[in-house]
Amino acid sequence: MVIGDKLPWKYIFRLHAPWLLATFLVAAAAWMATRIFQLELPFTPVPFQIAGVALAIFLGFRNNSAYDRWWEGRKLWGGIVNHSRALARQVLTLPVAPEADRPALLAAQRRIIYRQIAWLYAVKQQLRAADPLEELKGLLPADELEGLKAQKNVAAWLIHTNGVEVAGLAAKGWLSDYRLEILDRSLTELISLQGGCERIKSTPIPTAYRIFTYRFTRVFISVLPLGLVEHLSPSNVPVLIGLSLAFLVLETLGRILEDPFSTGPNGLALGAIARNIEINLRQQLGETELPEPAKPTLFNGIPILL
């Protein structure tokens, strides 16, 4: 996610340079044909005006849909933040054990909270189609890490394992049925939030919308100079190029926002969010040696958080 108000304009121009060049060449050819060779091209602005309005409406609808996906992803991760903190608080305050069993209870509480931290990174990695075990070393015991290699959904299994451990606390008499229900609701809410993220990831905007907007936008800007042939001049070509860039950026923005969990400059900063929750949860455990908050990296000279 981009930090601050600067945009990587050099990257934007470089990304769209081929199509902007195509628009410029068509404009130059049309200008030469009418001004130098005195040819009459059979084009009028009216069809292009109608097509431009239709394309703008279509792009607006598509981009609204894409932004809704992006914002829903952010709200789901906001829920993950809240319920992760709540789970840690409940794990640390609800179980009550006799003094002789306190060391065993503290060890179980630490395992549950560290497993919750591991779940955060596993969800992040799975949403980015990366190895979910990559960032779990040091958070889980070696034998548990080895067992996770056989799981197709590592994050879901971590929630399941925490559920088993919480049930074990109740079986030992350290949790009443009412308090067990509270912890179980928190775990259920976390798995529901994971499912919401997976729904966004596995259900992209329909292919017809994506292909139509991509192709129609590029065809439109390529032939737009023909519709403006009567008004073409060296002075208004930059305006034509700027208009073409606006359409290209709008179309590209819709494709980028469609996947809020990408690692690009407009993706959600899942790594930074997960790191902040890790710091909070480890502080709740009373730890003082904490990891540093995530630092931005440079993308074409612009700081972004991943």
Band of the pLDDT at 265, cuts 50, 70, 90? confident
pTM of the model: 0.89
- The sign one gets for the Cα dihedral 139, 141, 142, 143 is negative
Helix (H) or strand (E) holding 190: helix 177-202
What pLDDT score was predicted for residue 230? Answer: 73
Rounded Cα–Cα distance for residues 91 and 166 (Å): 8
β-strands 302-304, 297-299: how paired? antiparallel
CB 302 within 8 A of CB 265: yes
CB 66 within 8 A of CB 258: yes
CB 260 within 8 A of CB 73: yes
What pLDDT score was predicted for residue 39? Answer: 66
What pLDDT score was predicted for residue 261? Answer: 94
Rounded Cα–Cα distance for residues 158 and 117 (Å): 10
C-alpha dihedral over 230, 234, 238, 240, to 10 degrees? 10
pLDDT tens digits for range 8-63? 777 788 888 888 888 888 888 877 777 766 667 667 777 778 888 888 888 888 88
Average pLDDT over residues 55-83: 92
pLDDT tens digits for range 117-162? 999 999 999 999 999 998 998 899 999 999 999 999 999 999 999 9
Band of the pLDDT at 260, cuts 50, 70, 90? very high
- The sign one gets for the Cα dihedral 266, 268, 271, 277 is positive
The values of phi and psi at residue 135, to 5°, are -110, 15
